[in-house]
Structure 1
């Protein structure tokens, strides 16, 4: 690449590099045009000669007086283009990774590694020259969503230290240009295929999760400073976290039953009642059931949670199912994509019983460390209702809508079935 740069002192070089360039600038081209403009004498129109170097476009002007600084900028932009165009504004991600103290040289490869369609985020791996690789998640939402995930990853890493769980270390976050969302940079972990189904991994995960729930909640902020947060339930500083796209109110509370009913269940019930009151693709009976059962469900939930009103506070992953776990090459269980808060340990077992269920050995291993307590299944019904309402509020009545009372199909019908059980309890 060095041979492309002119060496005469009074040479002007113009390069254009199109990474999502505005319409009209090199339209339809995927190559970079390098132009050297040689000025023969002051005031004389320079003669231009151009060569195409493989990349695409914007303009960087290299002036003789500041040649070294501008050369570095131009080389960096050309290198970004040569990495390939996988995302609008990807140069921001590259610069964020290269700015990390743990990055081993410049980024030499960027590729998309999103697990599949339908996700709210896209995933990219960025590999540096020295071999270090980072995962960058890019989402359409504000940076606050990734602030919550970063805090959750840090809290999980601190609490699970020495327990046999692997949590990717988050490094930095930021906003994409032109309001195109935000991003989070973390360590890239290599998952082995079907990790959550390997008996050895499943057993370790169950045991380690129970130990995590039994550990003290780390009261440190993301900056490493000691926290004055002293309420047992919620999250440090009342930081709002997100279950998928649903914002979770983590204002601290000393009564867990009160916290869960008021901060978790009531907002979901109110949103679902409003959303489905005009049927929204459901039967008339389903659309009125939410309002009909509303008061009795809240009362039934509080009664079911009475024995754990002052339970031991546990740091929760918050969205624990097989899709948010994995295994390293050495078969250590991995936890990713948390929706952390501090509450009752049993909550983390609920969502996996609805979708993405673990093999039986996971639950057996968990209960060997933390045995079931009386009323376990009644409380699971309350926690599962929260997840079902969350899915219905975010995604509608759900696949399988139209099932029978004996075998309810979609999210809403399953939620109503759980509400009926609570109302009768």
Structure 2
């Protein structure tokens, strides 16, 4: 813990006055740090802190709330500590507006300039102009490898049919990429920041689908976000990827979630 803080303090040209463990971060270590010059921040490890810093910058450049980045190198990321009262239930409408704003930032192709990872699970982001092929190869099939023959076979069957299920050329929106409810900070009924991104350009519906993984977005969210024609049919396909990630990283407790989404998608 102290090594993490010490490295960040050196990047910022100061010394550590106080450090303590900070709750959160299932795939990385996080500490609260106060420097001798009075600055306070969170310092975290990760698979690629500099890539995460660029992602946070992209979210902020889109006009969406996210932590400021104070320093980053290949080992640590020092970011602003944002207020959080855990009140997402009162902030669904604001989240819908923020997410719509994020998705209005677009790219030319699907993908991202950097590859990324969730712990030991690589996330390939090679640019493509074929959305179903990108999502099949770099998301579903990649995450399914090693989860067991039965799941791999069903995912492969779904991937082979994605061209019939997903739009060929949806708007390449800037997506958060790991938008479960725990990565949304709120305060006093507003979104104070989106954290822990895994950004790329893709169909914005992937973020909407993932929000439903461990929470139930309210009607206010959907009203603020805007129309989503056909989302009900695509939702289990888009939610399957984070479910596969959880199965690959955290074990068999998530197998029923994966199988449920596969069945809902007709596979």
**TM-score, structure 2 as length reference:** 0.88
- When residues 169 and 89 of structure 1 are mapped into structure 2, their CA distance, relative to the original with a 3 A threshold, is closer
SS at match of 1:109: strand
After the TM superposition, which residues 126-165 of structure 1 pair with which residues of structure 2 at under 5 Å, given as runs?
126-139=33-46, 144-159=47-62, 161=63, 165=64
Q: Distance in 1 between matches of 2:198 and 2:152?
A: 28
Greater relative CO (CA pairs within 8 A, separation 6+):
2
- Do structure 1's residue 169 and structure 2's residue 25 form an aligned pair? no
- When residues 133 and 378 of structure 1 are mapped into structure 2, their CA distance, relative to the original with a 3 A threshold, is same
- Do structure 1's residue 96 and structure 2's residue 11 form an aligned pair? yes
| Residue in structure 1 matching 2:228, options 372, 382, 405 | 372
| Residue in structure 1 matching 2:137, options 233, 243, 262 | 262
TM-superposed CA distance for 1:300, in Å, is 3.0
- When residues 347 and 186 of structure 1 are mapped into structure 2, their CA distance, relative to the original with a 3 A threshold, is same
TM-superposed CA distance for 1:344, in Å, is 0.3
8 Å Cα contact 1:203-1:365 kept in structure 2:
yes
- When residues 296 and 113 of structure 1 are mapped into structure 2, their CA distance, relative to the original with a 3 A threshold, is closer
- When residues 291 and 362 of structure 1 are mapped into structure 2, their CA distance, relative to the original with a 3 A threshold, is closer
After the TM superposition, which residues 204-223 of structure 1 pair with which residues of structure 2 at under 5 Å, given as runs?
204-217=94-107
8 Å Cα contact 2:106-2:171 kept in structure 1:
no
- Do structure 1's residue 382 and structure 2's residue 237 form an aligned pair? yes
* Match in the other structure for 1:21: none
Q: Cα RMSD over matched residues?
A: 2.5
Q: Distance in 1 between matches of 2:211 and 2:121?
A: 18
| Residue in structure 2 matching 1:362, options 213, 221, 227 | 221
After the TM superposition, which residues 319-338 of structure 1 pair with which residues of structure 2 at under 5 Å, given as runs?
319-328=178-187, 331-338=190-197
User: How many residues are paired up?
Assistant: 267
* Match in the other structure for 1:225: none
After the TM superposition, which residues 60-71 of structure 1 pair with which residues of structure 2 at under 5 Å, given as runs?
none
Q: Distance in 1 between matches of 2:96 and 2:119?
A: 23
TM-superposed CA distance for 1:114, in Å, is 2.4
Larger Rg: 1
Gaps of 5+ in 2: none
- Do structure 1's residue 186 and structure 2's residue 79 form an aligned pair? yes
Q: Distance in 2 between matches of 1:340 and 1:333?
A: 18
* Match in the other structure for 1:396: 251
TM-superposed CA distance for 1:129, in Å, is 4.6
* Match in the other structure for 1:298: 159
- Do structure 1's residue 235 and structure 2's residue 112 form an aligned pair? yes
TM-superposed CA distance for 1:91, in Å, is 2.9
